Amino acid sequence: MPSLTGLRLERAQASKQYRDESFRNTSGARVSAQGPSPSVMGEFFFGGKARAPKGPLPVESPLSAWTKPSASGLRITWLGHSTLLIESDGVRVLTDPVFGERASPFSFAGPKRFHPVPASIAELPPLDAVLLSHNHYDHFCKSSLVELARTKVPIITSLGVGAYLEPLGVDPRMITELDWWEGFTLPGGALAFTAAPAQHFSGRGFGDRNLSLWSSWVITTERRKLFFSGDTGLTTELADIGARLGPFDVTMLEIGAWNAAWGDIHLGPENALSAFEMLGRGTLLPIHWGTFDLALHRWDEPAETLLALASKREARLLTPILGRPFEPDLVEGPTPWWRAVGAEAERRHGVVSPARR
């Protein structure tokens, strides 16, 4: 496993989040050393049939749309899970790039994606930066980063994550690692990033728990400011982020892979709405759902729950179809596309749900 050395170690030791040779959450929240209960783990490994879609998910190709300029200056394409292509004021940012088949250290085992990637890395338009929130497998995909390294695109990430990138062939000059509340502006001044607090953890194997930091992020372009949660639990620091760095044109928050057993380190739909309000509201784009089976809920439960709660709390919610580029300013509201997946499966099997009788 990588280790922190030299200037990287010095910067970690200077961080308020670094104590006793590892990074910590401000609140002290951490993953239990014992992990989830045996019953939870049993359900996770052996209860997966109810958690997968009953049919293929609708996926569109964004390639044609990417060749045309956006009308509003802000266009976003959800490529799955937490991977998005953000086009804002003439610059392009790719977030948490996971183009591999599995969110796993193994090519033959581990959570497998529900849908094909809408576009390959080779098909992406030229990128100005890659934003990498932390080093978990569903955010940090080795094969994807090896391919991106060849393009010499700048990678903006959390303190210590560079130790995992350099062995993959990423040029150290292309890596910028930030501590919470630190900012970095790319040459030319058109694109800036600020690392912000998150309540989570890091690690990719035995012996490297919390060796690197995890962050939420603010992306700033000429006329826009966007919030990207990475992974986080609900923390009062989100209100600080909203007060210090907001308001945001679009707030991208994780809603899936949630369970009470790890409720301190993931939001889930209800806490995502609370986080959205703490950050100053605006427009909510849910991420971190619909691609991998990483929890115990039905694959579409986070989106369905969020849709119901958002209506009651009068939150502006957008739920784009995978691969379809959209401009938040030009979209009126959510599209519950996931419902068609179950309806189509019922039609194929001649099943009529109680709601349709």
Contact predicate 113/101, CB 8 Å? yes
What is d(CA 223, CA 22) in angstroms, rounded to the nearest whole number? 37
**In sequence order, which residues have a C-beta less than 8 Å from that of residue 322 and are 6 or more positions away?**
57, 58, 59, 60, 78, 79, 80, 115, 118, 290
pLDDT score at 345: 54
Mean pLDDT of the chain, nearest integer: 92
pLDDT of amino acid 349: 52
Could you give the dihedral angle defined by the CA atoms of residues 173, 168, 91 and 71, in that order, rounded to the nearest 10 degrees? Answer: 180
- Alpha carbon 84 to its chain centroid, in Å, reads 8
* Token pair of 52 as six digits: 């997968």
Identify the pLDDT of residue 30: 84
Give the mean model confidence (pLDDT) for residues 102-118: 95
Number of C-beta neighbours around residue 91 at 10 A: 18
Query: Is there a contact between 195 and 178 (Cβ–Cβ < 8 Å)?
Result: yes
- Tokens 């879609």 identify what position? 53
Which one-letter DSSP state was computed for residue 250? E
Q: How far apart are the C-alpha atoms of 301 and 288, rounded to whole Å?
A: 12
Domain residues of the chain, as ranges?
Answer: 6-28+38-356
- Per DSSP, the three-state class of 289 is coil
What does the pLDDT average to over 74-93?
98
Q: What is the pTM of this model?
A: 0.93
| pLDDT tens figures, 329-348 | 999 999 999 999 966 555 55
Q: What is the DSSP letter of 355?
A: G
Domain 6-28+38-356 is classified in which CATH homologous superfamily? Ribonuclease Z/Hydroxyacylglutathione hydrolase-like (3.60.15.10)
Note the pLDDT tens digit of each residue in 247-306.
999 999 999 998 988 899 999 999 999 999 999 999 999 999 999 999 999 999 999 999
Calculated CA dihedral for residues 224, 158, 140, 258, nearest 10 degrees: -80
Q: Which of 42-46, 62-66, 74-78, 214-218 has the lowest mean pLDDT?
A: 42-46
User: HSE-up of 59 (CA within 13 Å, CB side)?
Assistant: 14
